[in-house]
Amino acid sequence: MGDSIPGPRGHLLSQRQALNPGATQGPQSSRFNVESSKCSRPECPWAVGGSRGGATCNAPPARGRAPPKPRGLSASPHGPGSGLAEAEPAHRPGPPAGLPGAPPAGRRDAEPESPRREPRGRGGARRPARLGAVPGGGPWGRPASSASSGAPSPLSLSVPGSRRRARRREGQRGSGGPPGGLSKKMISPSVTWPLATMPFLSSSFLLLLTVSTPSWCQSSDTTSPKATNGTPFPWDKIRLPEHIVPVHYDLMIHANLTTLTFEGTTEIEIAASRPTSAIILHSHLLQVSKATLRRRVGERLTAEPLRVLEYPRHEQIALVASKPLVVGLPYTVVIDYTGHLSGHLNGFYKSTYRTKEGEVRVLASTHFEPTAARMAFPCFDEPAFKANFSVKIRREPRHVAISNMPLVKSVTVAEGLLEDHFDVTVKMSTYLVAFIISDFESISKMTKNGVKVSVYAVPDKIHQADYALDAAVTLLEFYEDYFSIPYPLPKQDLAAIPDFESGAMENWGLTTYRESALLFDAEKSSASDKLGITLIVSHELAHQWFGNLVTMEWWNDLWLNEGFAKFMEFVSVSVTHPELKVEDYFFGKCFDVMEVDALNSSHPVSTAVEDPAQIREMFDEVSYEKGACILNMLRDYLGADAFKSGIVQYLLKHSYKNTKNEDLWNSMASICPTGGTERMDGFCSRGPRSSSSSHWQQEGLDVKTMMNTWTLQKGFPLVTVTVRGRNVHMKQEPYRKGPDDASETGDLWHVPLTFITSKSDAVQRFLLKTKTDVLILPEEVEWIKFNVGMNGYYIVHYEDDGWDSLTALLKGAHTTISSNDRASLINNAFQLVSNGKLSIEKALDLTLYLKHETEIMPVFQGLNELIPMYKLMEKRDMNEVENQFKAFLIRLLRDLIDNQTWTDEGSVTERMLRSQLLLLACVRKYRPCVQRAEAYFREWKESDGNLSLPSDVTLAVFAVGVQKPEGWDFLYRKYQSSLSNTEKNNIEVALCVSQDEEKLQWLLDESFKGDVIKLQEFPHILRTVGRNPVGYPLAWKFLRENWDKLIQKFELGSSSLTSMVIGTTNQFSTRARLEEVKEFFSSLKENGSQLRCVQQTIETIEENIRWMDKNFDKIRVWLQSQKLELL
């Protein structure tokens, strides 16, 4: 945003050593590491600073060789290592949520919906957008699945939201062909990640259509602790005890890619802070065959067998010794075990891909965040149990193994069997451990500071890795300069995995991605793909500092990882890739998350969680997008330089440690002067801000108190402004959708208000800390506009004639205010319709100025508001008014649509706007668009798919071509053979947009089998069909009839399951459907009734019903008004 890249700095080897002092000290450890579970952080008797919390253990693994010295970083007295890696919901920019191709969870009907947000029955929750969505649709990365996150898109055609997920490898052939004579040999699509695969635009547009799903499904359990053999289990809590801590893991893993099994030995050096006979750690779906406790007594090494007790309910095992461990003495636990490669996309799992020649090849990869390291090795699987790791991987000579650290040596252990030894890691959390066994190829470059950056991919796609490699080098150099902290490892690998549930994962030194989130096909990838890939890479590399170097102590503060990484996407890419105009994407995410945060079922940014399902639910829009938006607001408040100083101090102070929410605010507060004579961009002074008539700070800045109002309570404020002459009266209250008589919560925020007026475009500032306040202007004004540039996380209502004045401004001279300000007016107006503060007529009147709009943000925001309206009408069979409204939308934007060229020319934002407008027009059956698309599709089909279509309009062409049976069949066949993730994503969306119920049902059945179409694609397909006006009853029926199978394939609380629940239901707008939803989910009991996504979708449907009952007749009358004749 305002920070430029500082000049290059050299790395000093001594800096690395400073990061890991005493690397050779500490108890010796054997060699395997056990997955650590997610529990409370143990105390380190030898930690600097005392017990758990921020202290780091100063007894690094001995291991025989010192852990690699981290590069850079000024001396840190504590060992290296700490970092959280989390699975990022695939987030990728996308089309307005509603258009096919839009990202997030639960896309809308087959048609594209509004740009960014979920089709909301005016209150729909949405999930973290994934990359690839149309503006307004994609997340900026889920959950996850989430992410991450999707907005509804505008189209009415049956184009379901396309998603920006990465198309995976092609799957195996299916036995039966689709209706209509489709070929049987379809290659399964690549992995789906909610907005990651689709072109940025398309995905977002689809998002709108699909509705993002922000909530998480969670479940909790409590049972008396009995081990599987019936004896008492010595620990009854989900979190691990703190009196045993790991120091070093020595891991040996040997996977058999034929039998899909693996065996391992994990040696963990531990230390006890109090006598205990039971060592409690995590293990899930592993068969422990032997456990031994080793201890050196003088020159003698003793070994004692340990009794193994298992408690699957908490995914824990207890290793019981014959006598208590002695405090302060080093012990080593040795565990031999076996397991099966996971059939899901977490833990240590199998992935496959098909070569150009049709051969199916198998690889094994890991994805441990948040609680799946325990599925690969027994461990203390909680983020605060940081340790060093030595990894050894056994493999066949035809394979290659990679892990977090560089390869040190390979030794032959048997004929045809090699063992790769990797260097010792820095001190880090278990969820950041990673290893891959495959036949991937790679390309590499060095950064200016000597870090080797490599991109790994399947051989047939390695030519698509160049863009990501260049971006990674540039971004890694930027972060080293920005943070003034050198990247501490000697290498950074980026691997494109054929099967990947989320968007990406920040494993330290080995980040992993969906193929669509990393690979860029120069011939077929779109502008939104380029933006999405750049954002995801920047997100994962930001985690190398936020999350890995400094890790949250527990998952309740996940936002310290995810919110920061999401925010740093904006900061970094705006500097390293200014041509991508990331600011046109970033701010729309704040509107998206507000849709979710306005629900009663939302949650504070920092929220207590305990069990794995609850933790999985934390990977949502609130942790990602809201976290990023409030950080951006704080930076605007403090000033870019002061903000940067604060976060650098935070990173330096807590390197290789774990932190809590308050640690960040303490670092931020310390940058403010205390004497009152110096100002930090006006925010830390003790007197009024000299450049403004308003009062920022009369008593100095209290960052912690201010930011606690944004992180410890859910929701956001509605600021009501009333102008009386020169006096501006302000009142804040929690914003909630629903009628005015909604109960008051009494919540207050410290709101950093900004405003401009008709008399001055200089930004004025006012810190509103009380429920009401008044500011005095130098002179009377015609209009006043608050929340300048959309930097604040709040909405504004202008009482009396305030909205009339702003509407007149937009109609007469809309460029007087910025495009972000115009977009925020559109958003705020419709939010105020939902809670009864503004009439629907006034909000619709304001949108009429869009006839003259050309900028992407206001256009997409308009689509995000208008498309959900006719999506709700579709669910009530209100055909006449629905068709009138769709016709109005096309007339409103007709001039802008007609001005679009069917090329890939122009800036990234121009191309994204073109892609979504043409998709909308074609789905809405705007004749000039349909005729052009039909001609393109005919030529492309006649060339057997070899004709090069303009990448940014390909989805619109496919959405038209798929409507004929022969077009659907041809696209399905091309899907099987395509090596382009973008092309496969576009085809997948187009198939879901069909108006043929039989083909849609076949597509649901086939993709759920996971044979021809990969299972990872199913959540997106179900959501997209669920947004199709013809397909939504099929999707809802499929969800109900297959629920038991769904929760076996997708975990409760996962972003995938959440997106399917939201995507199939939250556009319902009738009481009959509401009762169906309530009855079905209440019948599930512990298998789903308690899920947060269920609460959110019920709340959303209720709001949809209320909104339609109140506003439908008004919309019908408004559409018949004379003013529309001007369009």
Options 269, 540, 1099, 1103, the catalytic residue: 540
Instruction: In whole angstroms, give the CA distance from residue 462 to residue 464.
Output: 5
Helix axes 527-543, 559-576, angle to 10 degrees: 130
Query: By three-state DSSP, how is residue 244 classified?
Result: strand
Lookup: tokens for 34: 């056990």
Instruction: In whole angstroms, give the CA distance from residue 643 to residue 666.
Output: 12
DSSP 546: B
Q: Where are the beta strands (DSSP E) in 307-451?
A: 307-311, 316-320, 331-340, 347-354, 360-367, 388-395, 400-403, 407-414, 417-422, 435-438, 441-446
CA nearest to 866, candidates 281, 360, 117, 264:
117
Contacts of residue 230, Cβ cutoff 8 Å, sequence gap at least 6? none
For the question of residue 855 being annotated catalytic, the response is no
Strand-pair partners of 755: 764, 786
One-letter amino acid identity for 213?
T
Instruction: In whole angstroms, give the CA distance from residue 722 to residue 731.
Output: 9
DSSP 683: S
Lookup: tokens for 347: 């833990």
SS3 string of 118-171?
Answer: CCCCCCCCCCCCCCCCECCCCCCCCCCECECCCCCCCCCCCCCCCCCCCCCCCC
Contacts of residue 971, Cβ cutoff 8 Å, sequence gap at least 6? 958, 961, 962, 987, 990, 991
CA nearest to 795, candidates 979, 598, 1076:
598
Instruction: In whole angstroms, give the CA distance from residue 951 to residue 11.
Output: 42
CA nearest to 366, candidates 655, 33, 30, 658:
33
Size (the chain), residues: 1127
DSSP 178: P
One-letter amino acid identity for 865?
E
CB 46 within 8 Å of CB 271: yes
One-letter amino acid identity for 116?
R
Helix axes 908-923, 879-898, angle to 10 degrees: 140
Q: Taking the CB of residue 161, how many other CB atoms lie within 10 A of it?
A: 60
- Strand order of the β-sheet with 751-757 is 760-768, 751-757, 784-786
CA nearest to 68, candidates 59, 60, 58, 77:
60
Q: For Cα atoms 954, 958, 960, give the angle at the middle one, nearest 5 degrees.
A: 120
Lookup: tokens for 73: 């970083």
Handedness of CA 916, 922, 924, 926 (dihedral sign): positive
Q: For Cα atoms 534, 539, 543, give the angle at the middle one, nearest 5 degrees.
A: 145
> Phi/psi at 414 (nearest 5 deg)?
-170, 170
Query: By three-state DSSP, how is residue 551 classified?
Result: strand
Instruction: In whole angstroms, give the CA distance from residue 997 to residue 13.
Output: 64
CB 501 within 8 Å of CB 145: yes
Lookup: tokens for 634: 């704080």
Q: 3-state SS of the chain: helix, strand, coil percent to 5?
A: 35, 20, 45
Exposure string (b/e) for 685-720, b if CB count within 10 Å is 16 or more?
bbeebeebebebbeeebebeebbbbbbebbbbbbbb
> Which conformational region is residue 944 in: left (phi greater than 0), alpha (psi within -120 to 50 degrees), or beta?
left
CB 550 within 8 Å of CB 657: yes
Catalytic residues: 540
